[in-house]
Amino acid sequence: MFAADFDYELPEAAVAQAAIEPRDAARLLVTSSLEDRTFRDLPGLLVPEDLLVVNRTRVRPARLRGHKTPSGGAIELLLSKRIDADRWEALIRPARRIRAGQELRFGDIKGHVLTDPDRGVVTVALEAGKTDVDDALGVDGEVPLPPYFRGSLATPDRYQTMFAKAVGSAAAPTAGLHFTPSLAEDLRERGIGIAEVDLEVGLDTFRPMEAGPIADHRMHRERFSVPAATVEAIDRTRHSEGRVIAVGTTVVRSLETAAGVSGLTAGEAESGLFITPGYRLRVVDAVITNFHAPRTTLLVMIAALLGPRWREVYAHAIDGGYRFLSFGDAMFIDEPVNAR
Protein backbone atom coordinates (compact mmCIF):
# COMPACT_ATOMS: atom_id res chain seq x y z
CA MET A 1 0.00 0.00 0.00
CA PHE A 2 1.18 3.48 -0.91
CA ALA A 3 0.41 6.94 0.42
CA ALA A 4 -1.36 7.68 -2.86
CA ASP A 5 -3.86 4.90 -2.06
CA PHE A 6 -5.19 7.11 0.72
CA ASP A 7 -5.69 10.24 -1.31
CA TYR A 8 -9.01 11.84 -2.19
CA GLU A 9 -10.16 15.25 -3.34
CA LEU A 10 -11.12 17.39 -0.36
CA PRO A 11 -12.90 20.56 -1.53
CA GLU A 12 -11.70 23.65 0.30
CA ALA A 13 -15.32 24.53 1.04
CA ALA A 14 -15.71 21.27 2.99
CA VAL A 15 -13.09 22.23 5.60
CA ALA A 16 -14.94 23.62 8.61
CA GLN A 17 -14.03 27.26 9.30
CA ALA A 18 -16.42 27.79 12.21
CA ALA A 19 -17.14 25.93 15.43
CA ILE A 20 -20.80 24.97 15.36
CA GLU A 21 -22.97 25.85 18.37
CA PRO A 22 -24.20 24.10 20.35
CA ARG A 23 -21.47 21.50 20.12
CA ASP A 24 -23.83 18.54 19.84
CA ALA A 25 -25.60 20.12 16.84
CA ALA A 26 -22.82 18.72 14.62
CA ARG A 27 -23.91 16.11 12.11
CA LEU A 28 -23.21 12.42 12.66
CA LEU A 29 -22.93 9.87 9.84
CA VAL A 30 -23.64 6.25 10.78
CA THR A 31 -21.27 4.40 8.49
CA SER A 32 -22.96 0.97 8.35
CA SER A 33 -26.19 2.42 6.93
CA LEU A 34 -25.00 5.83 5.65
CA GLU A 35 -27.75 7.29 7.81
CA ASP A 36 -27.50 11.04 8.42
CA ARG A 37 -28.08 12.01 12.05
CA THR A 38 -26.98 14.72 14.46
CA PHE A 39 -24.53 14.19 17.30
CA ARG A 40 -27.20 14.74 19.94
CA ASP A 41 -28.87 11.57 18.54
CA LEU A 42 -25.91 9.50 19.80
CA PRO A 43 -27.59 8.15 22.97
CA GLY A 44 -30.34 6.61 20.86
CA LEU A 45 -27.76 4.82 18.69
CA LEU A 46 -26.26 3.06 21.71
CA VAL A 47 -27.60 0.52 24.18
CA PRO A 48 -27.31 0.17 27.96
CA GLU A 49 -23.97 -1.39 28.97
CA ASP A 50 -22.13 0.25 26.05
CA LEU A 51 -19.03 2.15 27.19
CA LEU A 52 -17.64 5.31 25.64
CA VAL A 53 -13.92 5.92 26.21
CA VAL A 54 -12.75 9.52 25.84
CA ASN A 55 -9.36 11.24 25.84
CA ARG A 56 -9.17 13.69 28.76
CA THR A 57 -6.02 15.48 27.58
CA ARG A 58 -6.01 19.27 27.57
CA VAL A 59 -4.36 21.39 24.86
CA ARG A 60 -1.54 23.49 26.28
CA PRO A 61 -0.98 27.09 25.08
CA ALA A 62 1.87 25.73 23.01
CA ARG A 63 2.44 28.52 20.47
CA LEU A 64 5.12 31.04 21.48
CA ARG A 65 5.83 34.19 19.48
CA GLY A 66 9.02 36.07 20.30
CA HIS A 67 12.46 36.96 19.00
CA LYS A 68 15.99 35.71 18.63
CA THR A 69 18.62 37.27 20.84
CA PRO A 70 20.55 39.40 20.35
CA SER A 71 19.44 40.03 16.75
CA GLY A 72 15.77 40.65 17.57
CA GLY A 73 14.54 38.67 14.55
CA ALA A 74 10.98 37.34 14.89
CA ILE A 75 10.65 33.66 15.77
CA GLU A 76 7.82 31.27 16.57
CA LEU A 77 7.86 27.99 18.48
CA LEU A 78 5.10 25.39 18.45
CA LEU A 79 5.75 23.00 21.31
CA SER A 80 4.83 19.44 20.42
CA LYS A 81 6.10 17.45 23.41
CA ARG A 82 7.73 17.99 26.78
CA ILE A 83 10.75 15.68 26.98
CA ASP A 84 11.70 16.42 30.59
CA ALA A 85 11.73 19.30 33.08
CA ASP A 86 13.80 21.54 30.79
CA ARG A 87 13.72 20.16 27.24
CA TRP A 88 10.94 20.33 24.67
CA GLU A 89 10.43 19.13 21.13
CA ALA A 90 9.15 22.01 19.01
CA LEU A 91 8.48 23.17 15.48
CA ILE A 92 10.40 26.39 14.85
CA ARG A 93 9.61 29.05 12.24
CA PRO A 94 11.47 30.35 10.32
CA ALA A 95 13.97 27.51 10.57
CA ARG A 96 16.44 28.23 7.79
CA ARG A 97 18.95 30.28 9.83
CA ILE A 98 18.46 28.53 13.17
CA ARG A 99 21.36 26.50 14.56
CA ALA A 100 22.06 24.81 17.88
CA GLY A 101 23.08 27.43 20.43
CA GLN A 102 20.61 30.11 19.31
CA GLU A 103 19.06 32.04 22.21
CA LEU A 104 15.35 32.93 22.14
CA ARG A 105 13.01 35.07 24.21
CA PHE A 106 9.21 34.84 24.61
CA GLY A 107 8.08 37.29 27.27
CA ASP A 108 9.26 35.82 30.57
CA ILE A 109 10.30 32.55 28.92
CA LYS A 110 13.90 32.11 27.76
CA GLY A 111 14.86 29.50 25.18
CA HIS A 112 18.09 27.84 24.11
CA VAL A 113 18.08 25.77 20.90
CA LEU A 114 19.89 22.45 21.50
CA THR A 115 19.76 20.86 18.04
CA ASP A 116 19.87 21.95 14.41
CA PRO A 117 16.41 21.83 12.77
CA ASP A 118 15.30 18.49 11.28
CA ARG A 119 12.31 19.15 8.98
CA GLY A 120 11.73 22.29 11.06
CA VAL A 121 11.77 20.44 14.38
CA VAL A 122 14.26 21.28 17.13
CA THR A 123 14.93 20.34 20.72
CA VAL A 124 14.89 23.45 22.87
CA ALA A 125 15.54 24.15 26.55
CA LEU A 126 13.04 26.53 28.12
CA GLU A 127 13.09 28.22 31.51
CA ALA A 128 10.86 30.77 33.18
CA GLY A 129 12.75 31.78 36.31
CA LYS A 130 11.20 30.20 39.40
CA THR A 131 7.97 29.42 37.54
CA ASP A 132 7.34 26.11 35.78
CA VAL A 133 7.24 26.61 32.03
CA ASP A 134 3.79 25.03 31.75
CA ASP A 135 2.49 27.70 34.13
CA ALA A 136 4.29 30.49 32.23
CA LEU A 137 2.69 29.30 29.00
CA GLY A 138 -0.65 30.38 30.42
CA VAL A 139 0.63 33.97 30.18
CA ASP A 140 3.05 33.97 27.24
CA GLY A 141 1.64 31.15 25.10
CA GLU A 142 -1.36 30.78 22.79
CA VAL A 143 -3.56 27.76 22.13
CA PRO A 144 -2.45 26.56 18.68
CA LEU A 145 -5.37 26.22 16.29
CA PRO A 146 -4.99 23.95 13.23
CA PRO A 147 -3.16 25.66 10.34
CA TYR A 148 -6.06 25.08 7.94
CA PHE A 149 -8.51 26.83 10.29
CA ARG A 150 -8.80 30.50 9.33
CA GLY A 151 -11.89 31.29 11.38
CA SER A 152 -12.06 32.64 14.91
CA LEU A 153 -13.32 31.26 18.20
CA ALA A 154 -15.35 33.07 20.83
CA THR A 155 -12.99 31.65 23.46
CA PRO A 156 -9.87 29.44 23.38
CA ASP A 157 -11.81 26.89 25.47
CA ARG A 158 -13.86 26.09 22.37
CA TYR A 159 -10.80 24.08 21.30
CA GLN A 160 -10.95 22.04 24.52
CA THR A 161 -13.27 19.12 25.12
CA MET A 162 -15.57 19.02 28.13
CA PHE A 163 -13.42 16.15 29.44
CA ALA A 164 -10.12 18.10 29.30
CA LYS A 165 -8.10 17.81 32.50
CA ALA A 166 -4.41 16.96 32.18
CA VAL A 167 -2.42 19.52 30.15
CA GLY A 168 -0.15 17.90 27.60
CA SER A 169 -1.37 18.02 24.00
CA ALA A 170 -0.39 20.17 21.04
CA ALA A 171 -3.82 19.62 19.46
CA ALA A 172 -7.29 18.68 20.66
CA PRO A 173 -8.72 15.15 20.47
CA THR A 174 -11.40 16.55 18.20
CA ALA A 175 -13.99 13.75 18.34
CA GLY A 176 -14.61 14.79 21.94
CA LEU A 177 -15.42 18.39 20.96
CA HIS A 178 -19.02 17.37 20.13
CA PHE A 179 -19.96 16.38 23.69
CA THR A 180 -21.90 18.63 26.07
CA PRO A 181 -22.75 18.13 29.76
CA SER A 182 -26.42 17.58 28.88
CA LEU A 183 -25.53 14.94 26.30
CA ALA A 184 -23.23 13.19 28.80
CA GLU A 185 -26.05 13.19 31.37
CA ASP A 186 -28.44 11.70 28.81
CA LEU A 187 -25.91 8.93 28.14
CA ARG A 188 -25.54 8.13 31.83
CA GLU A 189 -29.31 8.08 32.37
CA ARG A 190 -29.56 5.45 29.63
CA GLY A 191 -26.97 3.25 31.34
CA ILE A 192 -24.15 4.12 28.94
CA GLY A 193 -20.83 4.55 30.71
CA ILE A 194 -18.01 7.01 30.09
CA ALA A 195 -14.38 6.12 30.90
CA GLU A 196 -11.17 8.05 30.27
CA VAL A 197 -7.64 7.69 28.96
CA ASP A 198 -4.88 10.22 28.37
CA LEU A 199 -2.94 10.54 25.12
CA GLU A 200 -0.82 13.61 24.44
CA VAL A 201 -1.68 14.52 20.86
CA GLY A 202 1.40 15.54 18.87
CA LEU A 203 1.74 17.62 15.72
CA ASP A 204 2.76 14.70 13.51
CA THR A 205 -0.75 13.31 13.82
CA PHE A 206 -1.97 15.70 11.13
CA ARG A 207 1.00 15.69 8.77
CA PRO A 208 0.52 14.10 5.35
CA MET A 209 2.59 11.01 4.64
CA GLU A 210 5.39 11.31 2.13
CA ALA A 211 5.05 9.57 -1.23
CA GLY A 212 5.93 5.90 -1.29
CA PRO A 213 4.95 2.76 0.63
CA ILE A 214 3.14 3.43 3.89
CA ALA A 215 5.33 0.75 5.48
CA ASP A 216 8.21 3.24 5.15
CA HIS A 217 6.38 5.93 7.11
CA ARG A 218 8.10 6.85 10.37
CA MET A 219 5.28 6.88 12.88
CA HIS A 220 5.41 9.46 15.66
CA ARG A 221 5.31 8.39 19.30
CA GLU A 222 2.88 9.86 21.83
CA ARG A 223 2.65 9.42 25.58
CA PHE A 224 -0.51 7.79 26.91
CA SER A 225 -1.92 6.37 30.10
CA VAL A 226 -4.81 4.01 30.78
CA PRO A 227 -6.16 4.25 34.36
CA ALA A 228 -7.03 1.10 36.31
CA ALA A 229 -10.63 2.36 36.59
CA THR A 230 -10.89 2.34 32.79
CA VAL A 231 -9.58 -1.22 32.53
CA GLU A 232 -12.15 -2.27 35.14
CA ALA A 233 -14.94 -0.49 33.25
CA ILE A 234 -13.93 -2.27 30.02
CA ASP A 235 -13.90 -5.63 31.83
CA ARG A 236 -17.44 -4.99 33.13
CA THR A 237 -18.54 -4.01 29.64
CA ARG A 238 -17.16 -7.27 28.24
CA HIS A 239 -19.00 -9.34 30.87
CA SER A 240 -22.28 -7.55 30.11
CA GLU A 241 -21.77 -7.92 26.34
CA GLY A 242 -21.71 -4.16 25.78
CA ARG A 243 -19.47 -2.44 23.25
CA VAL A 244 -16.28 -0.51 23.91
CA ILE A 245 -16.63 2.63 21.78
CA ALA A 246 -13.52 4.76 21.29
CA VAL A 247 -14.19 8.49 21.02
CA GLY A 248 -11.43 9.43 18.60
CA THR A 249 -8.38 7.86 16.98
CA THR A 250 -6.24 8.78 19.99
CA VAL A 251 -8.34 6.50 22.19
CA VAL A 252 -8.03 3.69 19.64
CA ARG A 253 -4.23 3.99 19.72
CA SER A 254 -4.14 4.14 23.51
CA LEU A 255 -6.31 1.10 24.13
CA GLU A 256 -4.87 -1.01 21.35
CA THR A 257 -1.30 -0.27 22.43
CA ALA A 258 -2.10 -0.98 26.09
CA ALA A 259 -3.64 -4.33 25.12
CA GLY A 260 -0.28 -5.66 23.94
CA VAL A 261 -0.18 -9.42 23.49
CA SER A 262 -1.43 -10.43 26.95
CA GLY A 263 -4.58 -8.34 27.33
CA LEU A 264 -5.42 -4.81 28.40
CA THR A 265 -3.46 -3.50 31.36
CA ALA A 266 -3.39 -0.17 33.16
CA GLY A 267 -0.30 2.00 33.05
CA GLU A 268 1.68 4.64 31.17
CA ALA A 269 3.79 4.20 28.04
CA GLU A 270 4.37 5.61 24.56
CA SER A 271 2.46 4.57 21.48
CA GLY A 272 4.01 4.35 18.04
CA LEU A 273 1.19 2.12 16.79
CA PHE A 274 0.33 2.60 13.12
CA ILE A 275 -3.04 0.97 12.44
CA THR A 276 -3.18 -0.03 8.78
CA PRO A 277 -5.55 -2.24 6.77
CA GLY A 278 -5.30 -5.81 8.03
CA TYR A 279 -4.86 -4.81 11.69
CA ARG A 280 -7.20 -6.72 14.03
CA LEU A 281 -8.73 -4.69 16.85
CA ARG A 282 -8.21 -6.23 20.30
CA VAL A 283 -10.20 -3.92 22.56
CA VAL A 284 -12.27 -1.47 20.52
CA ASP A 285 -15.66 -2.46 19.07
CA ALA A 286 -16.74 0.84 17.48
CA VAL A 287 -15.31 4.31 16.90
CA ILE A 288 -16.58 7.89 16.83
CA THR A 289 -14.31 10.19 14.86
CA ASN A 290 -14.22 13.27 12.64
CA PHE A 291 -13.43 13.25 8.91
CA HIS A 292 -9.69 13.30 8.26
CA ALA A 293 -7.40 14.89 5.69
CA PRO A 294 -6.01 12.98 2.68
CA ARG A 295 -2.78 11.00 2.98
CA THR A 296 -2.67 11.13 6.78
CA THR A 297 -2.08 8.25 9.16
CA LEU A 298 -5.51 9.03 10.61
CA LEU A 299 -7.14 8.27 7.27
CA VAL A 300 -5.14 5.04 7.02
CA MET A 301 -6.69 3.99 10.34
CA ILE A 302 -10.15 4.80 8.98
CA ALA A 303 -9.40 2.62 5.94
CA ALA A 304 -8.41 -0.17 8.35
CA LEU A 305 -11.72 0.20 10.22
CA LEU A 306 -14.02 0.54 7.20
CA GLY A 307 -12.17 -1.46 4.58
CA PRO A 308 -12.55 -0.35 0.95
CA ARG A 309 -15.91 1.25 1.89
CA TRP A 310 -14.05 4.22 3.31
CA ARG A 311 -14.19 5.86 -0.10
CA GLU A 312 -17.97 5.37 -0.30
CA VAL A 313 -18.41 6.82 3.20
CA TYR A 314 -16.21 9.84 2.45
CA ALA A 315 -17.92 10.44 -0.91
CA HIS A 316 -21.30 10.37 0.83
CA ALA A 317 -20.06 12.90 3.37
CA ILE A 318 -18.65 15.27 0.74
CA ASP A 319 -21.75 15.02 -1.45
CA GLY A 320 -23.95 15.53 1.61
CA GLY A 321 -22.21 18.71 2.72
CA TYR A 322 -20.60 17.34 5.86
CA ARG A 323 -17.95 19.57 7.44
CA PHE A 324 -14.42 18.10 7.59
CA LEU A 325 -11.42 18.18 9.95
CA SER A 326 -11.06 19.52 13.49
CA PHE A 327 -14.18 21.68 13.81
CA GLY A 328 -16.22 19.56 11.42
CA ASP A 329 -18.84 16.86 11.78
CA ALA A 330 -18.40 13.27 12.95
CA MET A 331 -19.06 9.71 11.94
CA PHE A 332 -19.97 6.65 13.99
CA ILE A 333 -18.12 3.59 12.74
CA ASP A 334 -20.54 1.14 14.35
CA GLU A 335 -19.35 -2.00 12.54
CA PRO A 336 -15.56 -1.98 11.96
CA VAL A 337 -14.53 -4.70 9.53
CA ASN A 338 -11.57 -5.66 11.71
CA ALA A 339 -13.26 -5.85 15.13
CA ARG A 340 -12.63 -8.87 17.33
Tabulate helix, strand, coil % of the chain (nearest 5).
Answer: 30, 30, 45
Question: Do 176 and 235 share a structural domain?
Answer: yes
Compute the distance between CA of residue 197 and CA of residue 288 in angstroms, rounded to an integer.
Answer: 15
Question: Do 176 and 284 share a structural domain?
Answer: yes
Handedness of CA 99, 110, 146, 1 (dihedral sign): positive
Per-residue pLDDT of the chain (340 residues; tens, 9 = 90+): 899 999 999 999 999 999 999 999 999 999 999 999 999 999 999 999 999 999 999 999 999 999 999 999 999 999 988 999 899 999 999 998 899 999 999 999 999 999 999 989 999 999 998 899 999 998 999 998 888 898 888 888 999 999 999 888 989 999 999 999 999 999 999 999 999 999 999 877 667 888 899 999 888 889 999 999 999 999 999 999 999 999 999 999 999 999 987 789 999 999 999 999 999 999 999 999 999 999 999 999 999 999 999 999 999 999 999 999 999 999 999 999 987 6
Question: Do 317 and 193 share a structural domain?
Answer: yes
The domain spanning residue 103 has which CATH number?
2.40.10.240
Question: Do 320 and 238 share a structural domain?
Answer: yes
Total domains, the chain: 2
**Residue 121 CA, distance from chain mean position:** 19
Question: Do 254 and 171 share a structural domain?
Answer: yes
- Residue at 339 is within a domain: no
Question: Do 246 and 129 share a structural domain?
Answer: no
- pTM for the predicted model, two decimal places: 0.93
Question: Do 163 and 128 share a structural domain?
Answer: no
Question: Do 167 and 296 share a structural domain?
Answer: yes
Question: Do 278 and 175 share a structural domain?
Answer: yes
- Residue at 277 is within a domain: yes
Last residue of a domain, one of 87, 105, 140: 140
Residue 194: per-residue pLDDT = 98
Residue 243 is part of which domain span? 3-59+153-333
Question: Do 132 and 274 share a structural domain?
Answer: no
Last residue of a domain, one of 140, 164, 192: 140
Last residue of a domain, one of 140, 169, 196: 140
- Residue at 306 is within a domain: yes
Residue 261: per-residue pLDDT = 73
Side by side, the strands of the sheet bearing 193-199 are 35-38, 27-30, 330-333, 286-290, 244-247, 51-55, 193-199, 222-226, 267-271
Question: Do 43 and 71 share a structural domain?
Answer: no
- Residue at 338 is within a domain: no
Question: Do 216 and 290 share a structural domain?
Answer: yes
Compute the distance between CA of residue 78 and CA of residue 88 in angstroms, rounded to an integer.
Answer: 10
